[in-house]
A and B are shown apart, each in its own frame.
Chain A
């Protein structure tokens, strides 16, 4: 097991900047998720760790040893490709055994390992088939088996669960996490599903447009998003945002002016924000809002627009001016569209971002 360090790594394809100045450290045995929208450079990053792509700039270290120029076969990484990349001409058994054969593991040992992994991933009844005769989910598990059987130092997973059905995905999530902890194998897990990242990873690296946005544990990302992108990307339904400015009233108090509404701020908070920036974006999570039928302190007045029941929770869309805010709340109170309602915000859980550089202020 090794510690993986990306030291100022960039990868350019001609004019395309796939990854820019990425600094990332994945601890020994740690489970790190690379999270970001499509095309943000996740796969490129994995391929650089695997040694397929050579970084245009920067270094990659395994246990503080520079492996930037080391060919993939000498890195002992296991990888599940986004496309599975199973060898179509080999049976499932041979697919899983292939890396072991290359390592010159004795035949009986290979057999034992292949069967063990196959059993774990519930593909032991498919060993004689070829990839073309498997469903997408089965192929994905074979790919996972192939990466695991070789007992790699670093496990690289490129959206390994994307093709499973919802039930199996949740099952495999837990299974994979348990397996990772058991094997203590350093893992980089690529996904664009934030729930997957949040539920599995020790730490999450959020990427956007080739740049690292924030690298923190799931709670850290949720509670203290570093910028607007992370704030909007993490959490479902996403955080509500309002643009506006911080103003001081005659009595020396502070309020947030969004045009459509004014929102009074506690004095210390107002001072803190206005000392950094005047034009800001306010953000609050749908689950950090209480709905009230009367005006309360720290509340915003609006109208019920539409109600989406989700079973355990309901999402209430509230119209304020021409903005729509989402609020997650328990079902119970009867809400009619058009009804007047107040959003009571939890002042400790409001986020403010600089409107221009989009960084978090508080």
Chain B
């Protein structure tokens, strides 16, 4: 009896030890990858407020001069770039446009792919995913022709709209696939219950199905926002008027066109570039966590 109790205590101790080790491993695995990322961001922050940067690495003396693009046009050498705010607005427009369109189209197409039986559904789905395999570079010329034909080239905001359409078009296939998985996990019974309760199919989709795929909608809205926000190639190729630049293109020019690089301002710009993303992320991630379980016996 006593011996049994002793071995029980030993086993308990061993279990506790195992738990501690397990948590230790989890913490290390979780924290270590975060460390370089956060340290980079912290470094950027310090960088952006320092007057002189020795060798582009070591900061010294406090200044807000690096953030001057916030209140005055950026002047570099002979060239003067447009004010940062309209550019930010353009970028936001592009990102929100892409995100909105992607969410709208793929919640519907994902639903159709998940719920409706039609001939060639599997083939269509394979085709869609294959579509995503092509990088947008190879489409540049063809898309240029289309934009031109549609009269969307060189037309300021209309060009941006054209880019929204293109970018959304490129993102929709993947987004539909992702959201289809979310729709798949909703039992038919729920949808049927809504129909019996007096919904049209459309209303059932809106009132019952969509609220249950909010996490999926959150996910695709974040990644399509990011895709739009950081889109470089399409804007760089199709937008010639500086007034309709977006932030990535602006930053590119800041790096590219000068022999020497203003590291301090680049750091500030880089930080500025990430801020809206962080805001968007922190608002839409609430959707990600809106997961309801239960109510349906499986």
What's the Cα separation between A24 and B52 when bound, in Å? 89
Whether the pair B196, A79 counts as a contact (CB closer than 8 A) is yes
Q: Contacts A130-B294, A132-B294, A134-B294; is A87 near B196 (CB within 8 Å)?
A: no
- B212 to chain A: closest residue by CB: A89
Whether the pair B295, A72 counts as a contact (CB closer than 8 A) is no
Whether the pair A81, B294 counts as a contact (CB closer than 8 A) is no
Selecting from A98-106, A109-117, A294-302, the interface stretch reads: A98-106
A71 at the interface (CB under 8 A from B): yes
Minimum C-beta distance from B270 to chain A (A): 39
Q: Which residues of A sit under 8 angstroms from B196, Cβ to Cβ?
A: 50-52, 72-73, 77-79
Whether the pair B296, A102 counts as a contact (CB closer than 8 A) is no
Q: Which residues of A sit under 8 angstroms from B200, Cβ to Cβ?
A: 71, 73
Q: Contacts A52-B192, A89-B211, A89-B212; is A84 near B197 (CB within 8 Å)?
A: no
**Which one of B187, B292, B297 contacts A89 once the chains associate, using CB atoms below 8 Å?**
B292
B195 at the interface (CB under 8 A from A): yes
Q: Which of B193, B207, B293, B294 has the most chain A CB atoms inside 10 A of its CB?
A: B193
In A60-89, the 8 Å CB interface with B consists of 71-73, 77-79, 81-89
Whether the pair B292, A88 counts as a contact (CB closer than 8 A) is yes
Q: Contacts A87-B208, A102-B203, A150-B198; is A47 near B295 (CB within 8 Å)?
A: no
A232 at the interface (CB under 8 A from B): no
Whether the pair B193, A79 counts as a contact (CB closer than 8 A) is yes
What's the Cα separation between A131 and B295 when bound, in Å? 5
What's the Cα separation between A272 and B200 when bound, in Å? 58
Whether the pair B292, A73 counts as a contact (CB closer than 8 A) is no
Q: Contacts A73-B200, A85-B187; is A52 near B294 (CB within 8 Å)?
A: no
B241 at the interface (CB under 8 A from A): no
Whether the pair A86, B197 counts as a contact (CB closer than 8 A) is no
A56 at the interface (CB under 8 A from B): no
Main secondary structure of the interface of A (DSSP, over half): mixed
Produce 1/0 per residue, B196-224, CB < 8 A to A: 11111001000110011000000000000
**Which one of B207, B292, B296 contacts A85 once the chains associate, using CB atoms below 8 Å?**
B296
Whether the pair A99, B198 counts as a contact (CB closer than 8 A) is yes
**Which one of A72, A88, A99 contacts B296 once the chains associate, using CB atoms below 8 Å?**
A88
B298 at the interface (CB under 8 A from A): yes
What's the Cα separation between A87 and B211 when bound, in Å? 10
Q: Contacts A71-B200, A73-B200, A89-B211; is A83 near B296 (CB within 8 Å)?
A: yes
Interface size on B, residues (CB 8 A): 25
What's the Cα separation between A72 and B292 when bound, in Å? 26
Q: Which residues of B sit under 8 angstroms from A146, Cβ to Cβ?
A: 197
A20 at the interface (CB under 8 A from B): no
B80 at the interface (CB under 8 A from A): no
What's the Cα separation between A243 and B187 when bound, in Å? 46
Interface size on A, residues (CB 8 A): 33
Whether the pair B195, A86 counts as a contact (CB closer than 8 A) is no
In A139-160, the 8 Å CB interface with B consists of 139, 146, 150
What are 24 residue pairs bridging A and B, where the CB atoms are less than 8 Å apart in the complex?
A47-B192, A50-B196, A52-B196, A73-B197, A73-B198, A79-B193, A81-B192, A84-B296, A85-B187, A85-B193, A86-B294, A87-B208, A88-B295, A88-B296, A89-B292, A98-B194, A99-B198, A102-B198, A130-B292, A131-B294, A134-B294, A136-B297, A139-B295, A146-B197
Whether the pair B192, A88 counts as a contact (CB closer than 8 A) is no
A329 at the interface (CB under 8 A from B): no
B18 at the interface (CB under 8 A from A): no
Q: Contacts A71-B200, A77-B196; is A83 near B292 (CB within 8 Å)?
A: no
What's the Cα separation between A99 and B199 when bound, in Å? 8
- A103 to chain B: closest residue by CB: B198
What's the Cα separation between A102 and B189 when bound, in Å? 18
In B154-190, the 8 Å CB interface with A consists of 187, 189-190
Whether the pair B295, A85 counts as a contact (CB closer than 8 A) is yes
Q: Contacts A88-B212, A89-B292; is A163 near B297 (CB within 8 Å)?
A: yes
